Copies of this chain bind each other. A is one copy, B any other.
């Protein structure tokens, strides 16, 4: 059996919802970062769980790889068809299936984006908090254990998905979790699938926890003379137990880039961007405490975004930072790094990273979700300069090794994909073999997103 046999079978089921057009293949073989174009053999557009199950059965018989595809916003090449096969694009499975407002839960299809969900929720008094910046699909966010700006308060996808429906490698449909807020009933398959990057199952339905829209919201920007002062302010804030909804760091280079891109007027200095959620009185009290901590660390140019449109502009500016940085140097490409360390090591980790980048003479703005100890450097590469790639990769590897030496992780939120596979053994040691054993148990034919997360056979 071959991929061609699979395609014939899929065509019979899906008709013109199986695409082999060049533009479709290239869209589904591209990445937002530096990975080379790696197109699949075809793109399937299922409209139901039953169709996804049928696709899996046909592909399993033909030993044809199957790669889930959401919005394509991954930064580590999760969706690249490195062994060919079929991309399963969930864009036609993008409905809110059931809103259970009383239980503060919603059941959605995997192709729904987080912004579309929050748009549908806007009149309910509820919202879905996980915010990776990109308007990713909820299925993709679950598959990559996404988090982002609000994780410091509301947690990551691991804390905000209650239940899943998923299609296994042989086409079996399973349900994991329930509508209960907690359970001790057997292995936590929900959390096993969250972050498995499409290598264990395709997610076809998600039950999400919602939060009440806060009665009061306040946001602010605060500048610091030194990176270390800003980071020390973060550490003091977390240790004081202040319930920050967001606490983001950008360095001076990022401030300059976003000013040019978004028309903001931040001083070209390191900044914290913060947000408070709560009652009017608690927001006021929290903001006052934060203000004191920031003053202690020589924070300055404190600017409040008290109107909703100012806050929207603030977070849009933050979310567009990656594009702003890319635009700051014409014709460049980016290697985006992601590391996460215990909060006590954060200042040292950021400083050392800035030194590494300066030493190579690169532009590499640093920014991140520092309330979690998570930050990124966007290393700007001249694609024509052959040395640049190697230098940038060396910096990224050094950062990952430093994260491990500090007791942290090689990726706080971007995931493994193609970019971090070579670092998995260094982080997990023998536990990486356990991951491979789980993969072999659930996908013995290695057809679900092969080449990602684990090495087949468990060896390098």
Contacts and interface: CB of A to CB of B under 8 A. Distances in A.
Interface string A143-167: 0111100010001101100000000
A343 interface: yes
A194 interface: yes
Nearest to A282: B282
A174 B408 contact: no
A442 interface: yes
Most B CB within 10 A of own CB, among A151, A172, A186, A341: A186
A435 to B, nearest CB: 5
Nearest to A439: B187
A196 interface: yes
B168 A434 contact: yes
Contact of A196 (B104, B187, B374, B438): B187
A345 B359 CA distance: 61
Contact of A195 (B184, B194, B344, B440): B184
Contacts of A413: 182, 184
A181 B372 contact: yes
Contacts of A175: 428-429, 431
Interface stretch (A222-230, A307-315, A414-422): A414-422
A177 to B, nearest CB: 8
B239 A185 contact: no
Given A100-B342, A438-B438, A373 B181 contact: yes
Given A189-B435, A192-B192, A431-B189, A239 B182 contact: no
Given A144-B184, A187-B438, 9 more contacts: A145-B183, A176-B428, A180-B407, A182-B412, A185-B427, A189-B434, A192-B438, A281-B281, A437-B441
Residue from A182, A404, A454 with most neighbouring chain B CB atoms (10 Å): A182
B239 A181 contact: no
A186 B432 contact: yes
Interface in A311-344: 338, 340-344
Contacts of A457: none
Contact of A186 (B180, B240, B428): B428
B342 A186 contact: no
Tell me how many chains of this kind the complex includes.
Answer: 2
Given A188-B158, A416-B185, A437-B441, A174 B429 contact: yes
A176 B409 contact: no
A320 to B, nearest CB: 22
A-B interface, 5 closest residue pairs, ranked by CB to CB distance from nearest: A441-B441, A179-B407, A191-B191, A183-B409, A102-B344
Nearest to A178: B409
A187 B182 contact: no
9 contacts: A103-B344, A145-B188, A158-B188, A173-B430, A174-B431, A180-B407, A184-B338, A185-B411, A188-B191
A186 B435 contact: yes
Contacts of A409: 178, 180, 182-185
A105 interface: yes
A410 interface: yes
Interface string A181-217: 1111111110110111000100000000001100000
Interface string A238-264: 111100000000000000000000000
A209 to B, nearest CB: 11
A105 B212 CA distance: 29
A112 interface: no
B408 A179 contact: yes
A156 B200 CA distance: 25
A190 B10 CA distance: 38
A373 B181 CA distance: 7
B102 A187 contact: no
A81 interface: no
Given A187-B192, A344-B102, A441-B441, A434 B174 contact: yes
Contact of A282 (B158, B184, B285): B285
B156 A424 contact: no
A293 B196 CA distance: 43
A16 to B, nearest CB: 32
A453 interface: yes
Contact of A104 (B145, B239, B414, B437): B239
